[in-house]
Amino acid sequence: MWLAETKLKTKMALFLPTYSEEVLIAIEKTPEIIFQKILLANDILKKLKMERVKPVAKEVKLDDLFQGLKIIYHSSEIEDNQGLVYPAETILTGVSAYEFLSAWKRQEENFKMWLEFSYKEYEHGKFLLANDGNENFIADVLKKRLEKNRRELLKNPQNLPTFILNDTEIPTEKIIEKIEKESATFLKIITDFEIEEKNILRFIQ
């Protein structure tokens, strides 16, 4: 069974055991033992598949972090550590984009700004970001804010707006499917964002 499931290219007959007449008679009398052994073999196979070789630890450099991050800052004012004001329509990438978000997070509660966010394969258009002071990490702030509207629409699909494409109304099911897909993509990349945030905090703390 292991050879069959792992699809090894070899002659199966070389590995098949030869049973004595006594064993064959015993199996004939209690055939359920075969299924017990099959279950045992499957358990062993699952454990083998779950094993992973641990990769060699790779040194993380500051410049390697947040290479897929991009922020477009549209409006409101925010000061960085040097007291500089970011002008409207500023585009920040990489570590600079994360430092921008970190500087915003240190502002007083309810400090608001309009921006666009993209990270790896995920893009989010212009939205309002407000600091309520309840989250410790940027990843948690983004997860809470960017998933908010999607969660509300999925919970209350009757509130979905009507979308028209080529004079044809798009079915609600299609809209929900698109929202769920966007949510899955976002939750995947925000996990990577969390890992990068933990790494960058080791440099700046």
Averaged over 124-146, what is the pLDDT? 89
158 and 73 in one domain? yes
143 and 91 in one domain? yes
119 and 19 in one domain? no
157 and 84 in one domain? yes
CA distances from 110 to 18, 84, 148 (A): 76, 20, 17
167 and 70 in one domain? yes
Task: Kindly tell me if the per-residue pLDDT of 4 is higher than 50.
Answer: yes
Do 127 and 94 touch, CB atoms closer than 8 A? no
Q: Is residue 132 part of a domain?
A: yes
131 and 91 in one domain? yes
Tell me, what's the pLDDT at 144?
A: 92
157 and 195 in one domain? yes
Terminal-residue alpha carbon distance, the chain: 53
Q: Rg of the Cα trace of the chain? A: 28
178 and 102 in one domain? yes
153 or 34, which is more confident = 153
pLDDT in tens, 154-194: 888 887 877 776 778 888 888 888 889 999 999 999 999 99
Tell me, what's the pLDDT at 57?
A: 45
pLDDT in tens, 25-59: 777 777 777 767 777 777 776 666 655 444 444 56
Domain that holds residue 12: 2-50
174 and 123 in one domain? yes
178 and 83 in one domain? yes
Q: Is residue 56 part of a domain?
A: no
Number of independent structural domains in the chain: 2
Averaged over 54-68, what is the pLDDT? 72
197 and 135 in one domain? yes
Task: Kindly tell me if the per-residue pLDDT of 23 is higher than 60.
Answer: yes
CA distances from 49 to 2, 12, 52, 92 (A): 11, 21, 8, 42
115 and 154 in one domain? yes
Q: Is residue 24 part of a domain?
A: yes
Q: For the chain, what is the total number of helices (H) and then of strands (E)?
A: 6, 6
Q: Is residue 57 part of a domain?
A: no
Please provide the DSSP assignment of 139-200 as one string: HHHHHHHHHHHHHHHHH-GGGPPP-EETTEEPPHHHHHHHHHHHHHHHHHHHHHHHHHHHHH
